[in-house]
Structure 1
């Protein structure tokens, strides 16, 4: 995920708010990356807070976009939750390629501003690309 804005999506399938936000994030991602003529420098990484690997797999199959996911048994899941102070889910923490936080209010921004928030993230990350 070098030279990309990364959105860390902390969520769980058992969480109604996570299930509610996932389709919106899917559309956001699809418009920026999957369906775009020139894919934006953006990646979503799902960081599961599910209780089991099966719950995680069910959630990813049912509601997730074509984005990355940390394996359930990867210790980085816990490390990221600690590093970014995740105490409630869902959370969408948007970071620079260095891991520095651009915003921990990504979910709210996507809901309220849609694709318009992405340009702010790119500018904050100092990643430049022509998106026309």
Structure 2
């Protein structure tokens, strides 16, 4: 997964909008983690309704107030907003630990095409190797809550275990 974002600038959802722009910073934040690519926009009623649920889901898995050990999970917001102001407004609904791409970054649209995003909200779940675990996990997150992370984690582990066997064929 790290390779997909090398040479990109990821921003932290904090007041300073700190940048992760070196290979070392990006590797440290993304390596060996399941990545949630959240495609959304502030003008979508569905996105507005889903954002608090996604935030709660993410916090329950990554905030030490809820868990002893943070899940190996990264949330990256891919804005489909029409302006920087809309992007900033929607970021207020998302966890402070989430990352995002700058409004002017054309990679947002490349990711939208790469993952065939056709509706908003969409949450693409990626294994650490960047293969797709779920093309759109919105319903799964709403239905199962944090339990779906365990399913993804098991699927990612199974994938890693199966990979050496596939190389022998």
**TM-score if structure 1 supplies the norm length?**
0.91
In structure 1, the partner of 2:34 is 5
Q: Confirm or deny that 1:75 pairs with 2:106.
A: yes
* Correspondence 1:55-74 to 2 at 5 A: 55-61=86-92, 63-66=93-96, 67-74=98-105
Identify the residue that residue 130 of structure 1 maps to in structure 2.
Answer: none
1:112 aligns with 2:143: yes
Matching of residue 31 in structure 1 with residue 31 in structure 2 = no
Corresponding residue SS for 2:125: strand
SS of equivalent to 2:38: strand
Q: Which runs of 5+ in 2 are unaligned?
A: 1-29, 159-169
Paired residue for 1:123? 154
Higher-Rg structure is: 2
Superposition deviation, residue 12 in structure 1: 0.1
TM-superposed CA distance for 1:34, in Å, is: 2.0
Please give the per-residue CA displacement for 1:68-92, whole angstroms capped at 9, x wherever unaligned. 1111111210111011001211101
Rounded Cα–Cα distance in structure 2 between residues aligned with 1:97 and 1:59: 27
Runs of at least 5 residues in structure 1 that lack an aligned partner in the other structure: 128-132
Distance 2:62 2:105 in 1: 26
Aligned to 1:96: 127
Please give the root-mean-square deviation of Cα atoms over the aligned residues, in Å. Answer: 1.2
- For residue 126 of structure 1, give the secondary structure of its aligned residue in structure 2: helix
Q: Which has the higher contact order (CA 8 A, sep 6+)?
A: 1
The equivalent residue for 1:52 is: 83
Count of matched residue positions in the alignment of Structure 1 and Structure 2: 126
SS of the aligned residue for 1:40 comes to: coil
Q: Distance in 1 between matches of 2:146 and 2:60?
A: 8
